Structures are given as structure tokens and as C-alpha cells.
């Protein structure tokens, strides 16, 4: 019975209740469709492709499902358009924290590019302060609803633009006030991370943290630059590290120098399975490199990237992985501890999240599960399904 218990796959309800940690989620990629519609109406933005929330949600998913990162990114025009006022930014950020908390996320680092929210006169500082205010409000509302979440912001600079140093300075200015690190995002091909070396060197001199979108639409050279030229603490996606791993017919695995470095140095990979399927970085969940990377014990983490464009949540991402790779609660805990270890908040705070929140949460789920298993055994069920309802 014991081995059966340990191999039984978690149900959706368990996945949802399990404490989850999210390191890679875009604020402008996670709006509620109804909020996009509301703010567009309030602010007079009349360029939305659909004005009914459900249809708009479908539109985002389909438009983002293009197989190309560049076309995927075009959909952000509409979300950024409704995130240009203080009130809109506060609202979107508060709802983001609320939605993540309701999904069982206990710690999140949510990123956005301040430079994309200046069209109606806000300053960079005003943007950061509005988002911070929204996150605090969302944390408060989540607490009232019985959920516990902590949200930190990552400030993103757009890689095709030339404001990275300025945004890095902004991240440093707010490092003790809601902002936990820096990132660069946007189209990868043609915009190598070394274009923004000044920003990364500045942050390193300030002992600050940053992640870099690399190894998503473009392969190993981008990962190599992000790590060895720019000094990234984590890789946004990094999924193409798979190109440096050879699996022979007999199952023997050989890591190239870069893949070995990434694994040896425990470089966190912010993997985003559903997003990769949409941009063409992976063909199916079954073929997604996360399966092999987990087996090889890379520092892999599970993330949503853009909940609106992918119609996803942390629960959805884990559910896909559970069904595809037969991951158990132990696997989920492994990914979650990996993520918490890789967060940009101080070490003692990460440790206390792991010991006081993550591990007890999984222990509680396991004990409830054992209890249910024992009751089910007594009732002599004929249900052979491994997905216990």
C-alpha cells in the first residue's frame, strides 16, 4: 500500500491547494479579460479586438498561439494600452496578487517593464509606486480571503530599446521598497543580452540581482552570453540548454560544457511549459525538456510566463506536468523548493518560506492523502484510476 500511495498522482484540487512559488510571471501578461474591457471603456481605448471578456480571453490565447515569439509579443500592445494610469496599474497589480493567492501561490516575483507605462504622462517612479501599492493591496485582500502570499516586483527593460541602465538604476533605487530584481525581455533574436552590458555591470557593482530572458526563441549563444558575459543569476526560460545535452540510444546522457556549467552552478531555469508551446520552443508537453531536466536534477522551476496569453495558472502548469510526466507531490515540492531557493529575497527569508510554509503545506497534503487512502482501502473501492477524485 505504501508504494501505491507514493505513486498516486495528485488531483487538481491537491495541486491547487499545494503551496506554489512563481518566479516568472509578467504583470502585463496576466490581466483578467474583464479588467482589460473595463479599463479600456473607462480610458477610451477603442482598439480592443473584442469587447466581451470571454471572447477577449479566447482572442488573446489564439493570437498568442502563433508559433513565433515576435507575434506572441504583439498581443501585449492591448494590455499595455490599458495600463497607463495610476488607478489602472494599482487595480491590475492588486488583482494579480489576489489571483495568484487564490491559485495557491505563496510567493511570487512578478515582472513588468516600467518604460511601457509612460504613454499618458506617468513617470518611471510613479509607475513603480503604483504597482507596489497594488501588490500590497492584493496581499491584504488575499489575507482577508484566507490566503497567504508575498509578491516582489522585478523591473524589466525591453531588449530592443536603450533604457536598460536607467531601469537598472530604478530597480536599485527601489530595492528596499518592493522591487527584488531586474530582467530584460522582448524579442530575443537580433537583440543579444550583451547590448545591455552596462546595466548588468552596474547591478553587479551594486550587489543586486537579475535574471535574463535567454534560451527561449534563440539557443545556446544567448544563454552563454547571459551567464558568462552578463552574469545573470537566473535564466528566464533557458529551455534551449537542451541543445547542449545529448541522449544516446541506450539512454546515456552527455552534457556539453555549457549545460554542465548550468547544472554544476545550480543556475535556476525559469521554465514556462505552456508559453513554450505557443511560441514554438517546444512541440508538446511530452516533448518539453522539463522532463529530462528534472531527471538530470538541473535547478528547474515551473512558471506561468503570461497567464492571459496562455490561458494558464500555476495549477494548470503543474496539472499538465502531472499528467504528462506522472509527477507526484514529492516532485511538486522539489520544483517548489527549487524556486524558493532561487528567489531574490534574502537567504533567511527564503529559508523560512521553505521551512514554515512550503514543507508543512506539502506534509499536510500528504497526511490528508494517506488518511483518505486508508479510508478508501477500507471501503474496498473498485476504482483503478490513478487520478483519485
Ligand X SMILES: O=c1[nH]cnc2c1ncn2[C@@H]1O[C@H](CO)[C@@H](O)[C@H]1O
- Using an 8 Å Cβ cutoff, are 189 and 217 in contact? yes
Exposure b/e, 87-112, CB count within 10 A at least 16 = b? ebbbbbbbbbbbbbbbbbbbbbbbbb
- Partner from Zn ion, ligand X, none contacting 32, C-beta within 5 to 8 A by type: none
213 labelled binding-site residue: yes
Q: Which of 301, 339, 332, 336 has the alpha carbon at shortest distance from 318? A: 332
Catalytic residue among 216, 270, 317, 319: 216
DSSP 121: S
Q: Which of residues 283-322 bind Zn ion (CB under 5 A)?
A: 305
Q: Which of 49, 36, 40 has the alpha carbon at shortest distance from 95? A: 36
28 labelled binding-site residue: yes
Q: Which residue's beta carbon is nearest to the bound ligand X? A: 185
- Using an 8 Å Cβ cutoff, are 233 and 109 in contact? no
Which is nearer to ligand X, 213 or 294 (by Cβ)?
213
Count of beta carbons in the 10 Å neighbourhood of residue 5: 15
Which is nearer to ligand X, 309 or 365 (by Cβ)?
309
- Partner from Zn ion, ligand X, none contacting 111, C-beta within 5 to 8 A by type: ligand X
Cα–Cα dist 329/6, whole Å: 8
Which is nearer to ligand X, 80 or 370 (by Cβ)?
80
Strands 253-255, 245-247: parallel, antiparallel or unpaired by DSSP? antiparallel
Q: How far is the CB of 305 from Zn ion (least distance, A)?
A: 5
Count of beta carbons in the 10 Å neighbourhood of residue 11: 15
Strands 150-158, 234-237: parallel, antiparallel or unpaired by DSSP? unpaired
- Partner from Zn ion, ligand X, none contacting 316, C-beta within 5 to 8 A by type: none
Q: How far is the CB of 75 from ligand X (least distance, A)?
A: 9
The residue ranges that bind ligand X (CB under 6 A) are: 26, 28-29, 69, 73, 76, 80, 111-113, 116, 156, 185-186, 213, 216, 275, 305-306
Q: How far is the CB of 222 from Zn ion (least distance, A)?
A: 14
Strand partners for 253: 247
Which is nearer to ligand X, 180 or 354 (by Cβ)?
180
For 229, the grid coordinates are 558575459
186 labelled binding-site residue: yes
The reply to whether 216 belongs to the active site is yes
Q: How far is the CB of 328 from ligand X (least distance, A)?
A: 28
Q: How far is the CB of 73 from ligand X (least distance, A)?
A: 5
- Partner from Zn ion, ligand X, none contacting 203, C-beta within 5 to 8 A by type: none
| Local structure of 247: helix, strand or coil | strand
**Interacting residues toward Zn ion by CB under 5 A:** 305
Which residues participate in catalysis according to the annotation?
A: 216
**Binding annotation:** 24, 26, 28, 186, 213, 305
Amino acid at each position: 500500500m505504501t508504494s501505491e500511495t507514493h505513486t498516486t498522482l495528485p488531483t487538481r484540487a491537491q495541486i491547487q491547494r499545494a503551496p506554489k512559488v512563481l518566479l516568472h510571471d509578467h504583470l502585463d501578461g496576466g490581466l483578467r479579460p474583464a479588467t482589460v474591457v473595463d479599463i479600456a471603456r473607462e480610458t477610451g481605448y477603442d482598439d480592443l479586438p473584442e469587447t466581451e471578456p470571454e471572447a477577449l480571453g479566447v482572442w488573446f490565447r489564439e493570437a498568442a498561439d502563433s508559433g513565433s515569439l515576435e507575434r506572441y509579443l504583439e498581443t501585449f500592445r492591448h494590455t499595455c494600452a490599458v495600463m497607463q494610469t495610476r488607478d489602472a496599474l494599482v487595480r491590475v497589480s492588486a488583482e494579480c496578487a489576489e489571483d495568484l493567492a487564490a491559485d495557491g501561490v505563496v510567493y511570487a516575483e512578478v515582472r513588468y517593464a516600467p518604460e511601457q507605462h509612460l504613454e499618458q504622462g506617468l513617470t518611471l517612479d510613479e509607475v513603480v509606486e503604483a504597482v507596489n501599492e497594488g501588490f500590497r493591496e492584493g496581499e491584504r485582500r488575499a489575507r482577508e480571503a484566507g490566503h497567504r502570499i508575498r509578491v516582489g516586483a522585478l523591473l524589466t527593460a525591453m531588449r530592443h530599446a536603450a533604457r536598460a541602465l536607467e531601469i537598472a538604476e530604478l530597480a536599485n533605487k527601489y530595492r528596499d521598497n518592493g522591487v527584488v530584481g531586474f530582467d530584460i525581455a522582448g524579442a530575443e533574436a537580433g537583440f543579444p543580452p550583451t547590448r545591455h552590458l552596462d546595466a548588468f555591470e552596474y547591478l553587479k557593482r551594486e550587489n543586486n540581482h537579475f535574471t535574463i530572458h535567454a534560451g527561449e526563441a534563440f539557443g545556446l549563444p544567448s544563454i552563454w552570453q547571459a551567464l558568462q558575459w552578463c552574469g545573470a543569476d537566473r535564466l528566464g526560460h533557458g529551455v534551449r540548454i537542451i541543445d547542449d545535452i545529448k541522449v544516446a540510444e541506450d539512454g546515456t546522457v552527455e552534457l556539453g560544457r555549457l549545460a554542465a556549467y548550468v547544472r554544476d552552478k545550480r543556475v535556476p531555469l525559469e521554465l514556462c511549459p505552456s508559453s513554450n508551446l505557443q511560441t514554438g520552443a517546444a512541440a508538446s508537453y511530452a516533448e518539453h525538456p522539463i522532463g529530462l531536466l528534472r531527471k538530470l536534477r538541473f535547478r528547474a522551476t515551473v512558471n506561468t510566463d503570461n497567464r492571459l496569453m496562455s490561458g494558464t495558472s500555476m495549477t494548470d502548469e503543474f496539472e499538465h506536468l502531472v499528467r504528462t510526466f506522472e509527477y507526484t507531490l514529492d516532485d511538486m515540492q522539489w520544483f517548489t523548493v527549487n524556486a524558493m531557493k532561487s528567489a531574490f529575497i534574502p537567504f533567511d527569508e527564503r529559508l523560512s518560506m521553505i521551512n514554515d510554509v512550503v514543507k508543512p503545506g506539502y506534509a499536510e497534503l500528504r497526511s490528508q492523502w494517506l488518511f483518505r487512502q486508508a479510508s478508501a482501502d477500507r471501503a474496498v473501492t473498485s476504482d483503478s484510476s490513478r487520478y483519485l477524485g
